[in-house]
Structure 1
Amino acid sequence: MADSAMAAGRRATATAAKKTAILRAGLDIFSRFGLHGATLDRLAGQAGVSKTNLLYYFPTKETLYIAVLQDLLDIWLAPLKAFRADSQPVAAISDYIRLKLAVSRDYPQASRLFCQEMLQGAPLLKSLLEGELKELVAEKTAIINDWIAGGRLAAVDAHHLIFTIWATTQHYADFSVQIEAVSGRTLQDDAFFHQAVEHIQRIILKGVCPR
């Protein structure tokens, strides 16, 4: 029984490792070539598995693409999920800006793939955007509006505040080539990362702090 359990554990570990390798390969290939430019042979080669093995875990290229998008949406939403009603408003917004910029630094491929999907009209992600994302944003804008009603923040539009944070932080991933061309630096430079965080925080917080 013990040997059987150990064997099952090894199989589960191997299966999880293969799925992780395939998802990572999908993120890399899809972010560079898009859904239509990616081929099963290229995806399998990048993952280090056979095409047959890839199709065992993900029956179609589209299935893998959606799984990759779901993973990156989880990464993208994690900072917003950390936004809590019992936080101090200025500290919460500051932390959200820092965490969103850290996502741009640590997961630039995910951010670019997400951007590509949005530019195409989000054909494979629209249901998630209109469901999970919309519900989460509604929950967090309600928190912001409560802070405003309590005089803890200036009277700003909560949706536009979130949109502004998305735009300013994701720009560093989606337009990283442009930023490096102009400044000669990237978010991988710790000093530049902290400078960007402090700059965005200062601009946005000046607009939301109570007058």
Structure 2
Amino acid sequence: MTHTRTRIQVKNSETILDAALDVFSSHGFRGATLDQIAEVAGLSKPNLLYYFPSKEAIHLALLNQLLVTWLDPLRAMNPSGDPVTEIMTYLRKKLETSRDFPRESRLFANEILQGAPHLRAAIEGDLKTLVDEKTVVLKAWMDQGKIAPLPPVHLIFSIWALTQHYADFDVQVRAVLGPDHDPFAEAEAFLEILFTRLLTV
């Protein structure tokens, strides 16, 4: 029998996940505690445990949500579209994700740095399958002479690295640029020039 959650249950679950995102992205999985998450959420620990049975359960719920957000822009790359337009759209969406979801980006980075104990099956499964699929698309565009010949997987890696950097190393980026700069606006302009030139035959 399926039980429909009440509005307050939905709200409390979202509050816990948002608080956990703050704690995990700041302290990593190992450094985070249920007490910290409960405190940030403004709930008692027993109340938190009513919604999630363990720290691992909260972490996994966040990671599963994150993976959907992370993969959707790559899924949207259209094999029938203009190659440069499709790749640049993907790059912009990844940069927007770093701008709009910096905590999620750091959560993902922490998970990977720890050896992906909770996400290994997903990155070896759904993520790898999607990258393999889009690699075929990129290779076809290259073989047709529509974009410059490049290692397709490393092209994807470079987009990840050059966009997620602005979330994962936000403090460093802003310290170097200074207070009068918008790092994301400047990054978008630079990356557009960089990748347009890189992809041009």
Q: TM-score, normalised by structure 1?
A: 0.88
Deviates more, 1:165-174 or 1:67-76: 67-76
Report 1:9-88 matches (<5 A). Answer: 12-88=6-82
Residue 131 of structure 1 aligns to a residue whose secondary structure is helix
> In structure 1, which of residues 146, 149, 158 is the aligned counterpart of residue 143 of structure 2?
149
Query: Kindly tell me: are residues 197 and 65 of structure 1, through their superposed partners in 2, closer, same or farther at Cα, counting changes over 3 Å?
Result: same
8 Å CA contact 1:176, 1:186 repeated in 2: no
State the 1:48 CA deviation.
Answer: 2.4
Q: Deviations over 1:8-55 (max 9, x none)?
A: 97x522221111111111111011111122121211121222212211
Picking from 110, 113, 128, the partner of 2:107 is: 113
Superposed CA offset, 1:85-118 (max 9, x none): 1221111111111111111111111111111111
Structure 1 CA distance for aligned equivalents of residues 68 and 171 of structure 2: 25
Give SS of 2:117's match: coil
Q: Out of 169, 178, 181, which is 2:175 matched to?
A: 181
User: CA 1:185 to 1:140, structure 2 compared with 1: closer, same or farther past 3 Å?
Assistant: farther
Q: Does 1:209 align with 2:166?
A: no
Q: TM-score, normalised by structure 2?
A: 0.92
Residues 1:168 and 2:159 aligned together: no
The one-letter amino acid paired with 2:128 is K
Distance in 2 between the 1:41 and 1:186 partners?
38
Q: Does 2:190 align with 1:199?
A: yes
Structure 2, unpaired ranges of 5+: none
Which one has the largest radius of gyration? 1
The residue identity in structure 2 corresponding to 1:107 is F
Runs of 4+ aligned residues of structure 1 deviating over 3 Å after TM superposition are none
User: Gaps (5+ residues) in structure 1?
Assistant: 1-7
